[in-house]
Amino acid sequence: MSLLDHITGPASVKALPAEQLPQLAQEIRDFLIQSVSKTGGHLGPNLGVVELTIALHRVFDSPRDAIVFDTGHQSYVHKILTGRHDFSGLRSRGGLSGYPSRVESEHDVVENSHASTSLSWAHGIAKGRVLAGQGSRHTAAVIGDGALTGGMAWEALNNIAADKSLPLVLIVNDNERSYAPTIGGMAEHLATLRTTQGYETFLEWGKTTLRRAPVVGGPMERALHGVKKGIKDVIAPQGLFEDLGLKYIGPVDGHDTVALESALRRAKSFGGPVLVHVLTQKGRGYEPARADEADQFHAVGVINPETGLPFEVAGRIWTDEFAEEMVRLGRERRDIVAVTAAMTLPVGLGPFGEAFPDRLIDVGIAEQHALTMASGLAFAGLHPVVAVYATFLNRAFDQLLMDAALHKAGVTVVLDRAGVTGPDGASHHGMWDMTICGAIPGLRLNAPRDGATVRRALREAVDVDDAPTVIRFPKGNVAAPLEPVRIVEGLDIMADHTDGGAVEQLIIGVGSMVPTAITVAEKLAAEGVRTLVVDPRWVIPVAPELVALAATAGRVAVIEDNLVIGGVGSQVATAVRAAGHAVPVMSFGIPREFLDHASRGQVLDAIGLTPDAITAALRP
């Protein structure tokens, strides 16, 4: 049996002699490559933290000691070491989550996979335990250098530094990347730390010299203190952390288990907050993940483990439509500027950045800063296009409301991965954005139904200079082109089964749910119901023309992949009532609950957002 076969929990990891740890690390890497290549998942980040996670479980006593992973996508090794070896259903319904999960294990603490939160979690856990008289229990937080670009991490550091006696160890997993290379002043600072070692050696020299000094506090000691401070600033810029009041240890080789254990034990025994700076290689041990285009191995689909290449070539995705149109707009208009939060490639801004490098701004994992800075760009006469995943718009609600909308800033926000996303689970579904945006005065939101309407929406959005605009589209392959049967007062009529008679059932399809709306209409029409399907495209605010059309129908149904609470259906119902019409409006969308990881189709089926389920609900 392999060493890995004997690992049933942290106690098994602690029991291994140190000389067997390199073999365990290699077995874990082999297991990850073979398993994740079959299911898809976050491969690169986990290959980089194998030795670090082993050391964590040898030094700390999980679950008595809490281990918090920032973002959580690098927790696969932690799952393995805590006894979860069945990766066959990773990120599939009924299988392991791709992130920590309290349902899975008592060793998992934080499930939310949004970045830059771990230090706040760790501070709260450590402080709470001290207040509860459990100060002997330690808390360790693992945060990447990419997540340190998020402002919330620095809010936490500011407060942690003031709690001098907290049993808290903060591990910076520095691999110079988040999804892509980390940018900004913090990245430059950590880069300096990586390349400037020798401060400890200087301190030892200084201590020896001071012991020989004839007079304590005399000229020689004062001179040495000045020299020490000057050299520290030059060769040891860890002063940034130490000046905050945090003990700093590092840099430590993140693939040397002996050095890691030593550093973590020193940190654990200190008796207060300590920051341990660990240098790792994302994708370590797997050549395809270390090559020039290693960022594609941050998260992979099903791949050939030998080559790293996908078995199937992906089709054209929604993001491609946005990416190409942004480049066209960039050539036509010099005022177009792209902004992203550490997601240049995933949101499709790579081609724009190649064509116009001076007009692409990556702010790091800082969505709040992105939206407010974009408002400033708009004030300066530019039109910024801020592209993020829909789930991450939640983090910048206040900035979209108070900085963009209140100031009538011409900012366009493009939301990728909107609606039900599937395998990444509860925190990655883009199911809140239309509810959030519907509460913002002046904001206009467009939900394209296919690639052509993505391009059309973007062009219309960047022409708006007196309010924020939002465009949202889903994950995956782009829908086949859907042409309207006619256009009435700016509304796309997608299907008409009325035979010239009165509309018994008006169905409003929102974005990617338009094909579902068309299918539902066909099913109802086959049963003799006169139906009409409309795609408003601009769904927030509700257009007066849509309200007028609704007033002519016997019933109205709205189908959307957003929360039913506060979504487009809710807004249509409110607008219809406000206009004095007594037409009943039914909303079909996502219930107010967190949805488990599964395929998109499985999730839609579970919540009744399928043609058959909707037809049954609408059947007279």
pLDDT of 413-463, one tens digit each?
999 999 998 787 777 888 999 999 999 999 999 999 999 999 999 999 999
At 185, the pLDDT band (50, 70, 90 cuts) reads low
pLDDT of residue 274: 93
The answer to whether residue 282 is catalytic is yes
Is 146 a known ligand-binding residue?
yes
Sign of CA dihedral 179, 181, 186, 191: positive
Which tokens go with 574? 């409110």
Q: Is residue 180's pLDDT more than 60?
A: no
Instruction: State pLDDT tens for residues 9-18.
Output: 999 999 999 9
Task: Let me know if 367 is a catalytic residue.
Answer: yes
- Is 115 annotated as belonging to a binding site? yes
Per the model's pLDDT, the better-predicted residue between 292 and 102 turns out to be 102
Cβ neighbors of 212 (< 8 A, separation 6 or more) are: none
Q: Please give the C-alpha separations between residue 574 and each of 27, 83, 95, 486, in angstroms, as whole numbers.
A: 59, 52, 41, 27
Distance (Å) of CA 586 to CA 23, 565, 581, 600: 60, 12, 14, 23
Q: 491-497 and 505-509 as β-strands: parallel, antiparallel, unpaired?
A: unpaired
Catalytic residue among 367, 449, 455, 555, which? 367
| Helix/strand/coil percentages in the chain, nearest 5 | 45, 15, 40
pLDDT recorded at residue 308:
56
Per-residue model confidence as pLDDT tens digits over 293-314: 445 555 666 656 555 556 555 6
Question: Cα–Cα distance between 470 and 457 in angstroms, integer?
Answer: 9
> Which structure tokens are listed for 31?
């297991």
CA distance 171 to 188: 18
Q: Is 511 annotated as a binding residue?
A: no
299 is in an annotated binding site: no
Mean pLDDT of 61-86: 92
Average pLDDT over residues 45-52: 90
Is 114 annotated as ligand-binding?
yes
CB of 555 closer than 8 Å to CB of 562: no
Active-site pick, 282, 359, 417, 600 = 282
Q: What is the mean pLDDT of the chain?
A: 86
Cα four-point dihedral sign 233, 234, 240, 242: negative
CATH topology of domain 486-618: Rossmann fold (3.40.50)
For residue 366, report the phi and psi dihedrals to the nearest 5 degrees: -150, 70
Is the peptide bond between 63 and the residue preceding it cis, with omega within 30 degrees of 0?
A: yes
Does residue 74 contact residue 297 with C-beta atoms inside 8 Å? no
- C-beta of residue 325 within 8 angstroms of C-beta of residue 448: no
HEC sequence for 26-79: HHHHHHHHHHHHHHCECCHHHHCCHHHHHHHHHHCCCCCCEEEECCCCCCHHHH
Tokens standing for residue 15 = 């029991």
Pick the CATH number of 318-472 from 3.20.20.70, 3.30.365.10, 2.60.40.790, 3.40.50.970: 3.40.50.970
Task: Enumerate the CATH 3.40.50.970 domain ranges in the chain, comma separated.
Answer: 4-196+237-297, 318-472
- Which residues of the chain are in CATH 3.40.50.920 domains? 486-618
248 is in an annotated binding site: no
> Quick one: pLDDT at residue 291?
56
| pLDDT band of 236, cuts 50, 70, 90 | very low
pLDDT number for residue 618: 96
Torsion of CA 266, 267, 269, 273, to 10 degrees: 160
The predicted structure's pLDDT at residue 175: 82
With cut-offs at 50, 70 and 90, classify the pLDDT of residue 283: confident
Q: What is the mean pLDDT of residues 44-66?
A: 93
Q: Is 175 annotated as a binding residue?
A: yes
388-420 tens-digit pLDDT: 999 999 999 999 999 999 999 999 999 999 999
Neighbour tally for 5: CB within 10 Å: 9
Is 99 annotated as a binding-site member? no
Helix or strand holding residue 201 (H, E): helix 199-212
Q: Phi and psi at residue 585, in whole multiples of 5°?
A: -120, 125
Cβ-contact 338, 385 below 8 angstroms: yes
The answer to whether 55 is annotated as binding is no
Instruction: Indicate whether 50 pLDDT > 50.
Output: yes
Architecture of domain 4-196+237-297: 3-Layer(aba) Sandwich (3.40)
Residue 430, SS3 per DSSP = strand
Q: What is the pLDDT of residue 218?
A: 46
Alpha carbons 277 and 257: distance in angstroms, whole number: 14
* Angstrom distances, CA of residue 540 to CA of 425, 436, 442, 492, 604: 27, 11, 9, 15, 23
Beta bridge partner(s), residue 300: 41
Q: What is the mean pLDDT of residues 53-77?
A: 93
CB 82 within 8 A of CB 9: yes
- For residue 610, the model assigns a pLDDT of 95
pLDDT band at 204 (very low <50, low <70, confident <90, very high): very low
Q: CA 44, CA 50: separation in Å to the nearest integer?
A: 11
**Is 545 annotated in the active site?**
no
CA angle 540, 543, 545 (to 5 degrees): 160
Dist. CA 320–CA 299, nearest whole Å: 18
Close Cβ partners of 173 (under 8 Å, ≥ 6 residues apart): 48, 49, 52, 74, 142, 143, 144, 145, 254, 278, 280
* Distance (Å) of CA 400 to CA 371, 438, 490, 597: 6, 12, 27, 29
Q: Are 115 and 42 in contact (CB under 8 A)?
A: no
Q: Which of these is catalytic: 395, 455, 472, 475?
A: 395
- Among 31-40, 211-220, 373-382, the minimum mean pLDDT is found in 211-220
Residue 223 has pLDDT above 70, yes or no: no
The better pLDDT of the pair 598, 501 is held by 501
